[in-house]
A and B are shown apart, each in its own frame.
Chain A
Amino acid sequence: MDIKRRIFDANIFSAYRERLTEIDAGKTAFSLVVFYELTATKIYSSKRRHWEMVIGEHYENETLIIPSFEDWVLASRLVWKLIQEGEIHTNLAVALQNDALICVSAMSFSPVVPPVIVTDDTKHFRLIADYLNDRRKKDNGNLVIQSPKEYFKV
């Protein structure tokens, strides 16, 4: 993959939708976990249909990030380790499970040039990214987390 793509966390598509350009939406990589977060709740059926078409196009474009067997295992280990080390409270673990899976699968999607993840929850995502960056292979790039303020330069 030659360009550094962005992955937008689920809330960016609602809270910041007026800020997204055609380029932002077109040159992104899309995590299946984000699709799950966007559609597994109470949404209109037309919205759901459109998101399903979005992931179909991303799949054809090879920009859909689908967590693999290894990603699931590593994400699970990562959240468990963060709890053991006291970095996060057990109550937060459930909320962090999806975030960890987004980060881990982003790293394995493009290890040399990992996508930048744009999220409102930078605190927890950076905690996960730090763990992954510490154990990455020498030639691989760092996983970078950006806040919407940094990305959109508000």
Chain B
Amino acid sequence: MTKNKTVSRKKANPPKRKKEFVDKFRSLQPGDVELTEREKRIAELTRKAMFA
């Protein structure tokens, strides 16, 4: 008699590697305020500081 092998949900659907989504910002929503060039630089540097 063969034993039914069950595959755990965790193995069947492995979570995306954390790195894939933590090192970029959440996508912008429609109607979001525009950023100035300096504010874009601030955002980019903040992202680097948070994920460095």
Which A positions have Cβ atoms within 8 angstroms of B? 3, 13-14, 17-23, 25-28, 44, 46-47, 50-51, 53-54, 57-58, 60-61, 63
Contacts and interface: CB of A to CB of B under 8 A. Distances in A.
A44 B51 CA distance: 11
Contacts of B38: 57, 60-61
16 contacts: A13-B46, A13-B49, A13-B50, A17-B22, A18-B21, A18-B22, A20-B50, A21-B25, A21-B26, A21-B28, A22-B25, A25-B43, A26-B43, A47-B49, A57-B41, A61-B42
Contacts of A17: 22, 50-51
Closest 4 CB pairs of A and B: A50-B49, A26-B39, A26-B43, A25-B43
A19 to B, nearest CB: 6
A50 B42 contact: no
A19 B39 contact: no
A93 B41 CA distance: 36
Nearest to A63: B42
Nearest to A44: B52
Interface of B: 21-22, 25-29, 32-33, 35-36, 38-43, 45-52
Contacts of B51: 17
Judged by DSSP, the binding face of B is helix
B51 to A, nearest CB: 7
A53 B46 CA distance: 9
Contacts of A20: 25-26, 46, 50
A14 B46 CA distance: 11
Contacts of A21: 25-29, 32
B46 A25 contact: yes
Contact of B46 (A3, A18, A54, A61): A54
Given A21-B26, A57-B41, A27 B52 contact: no
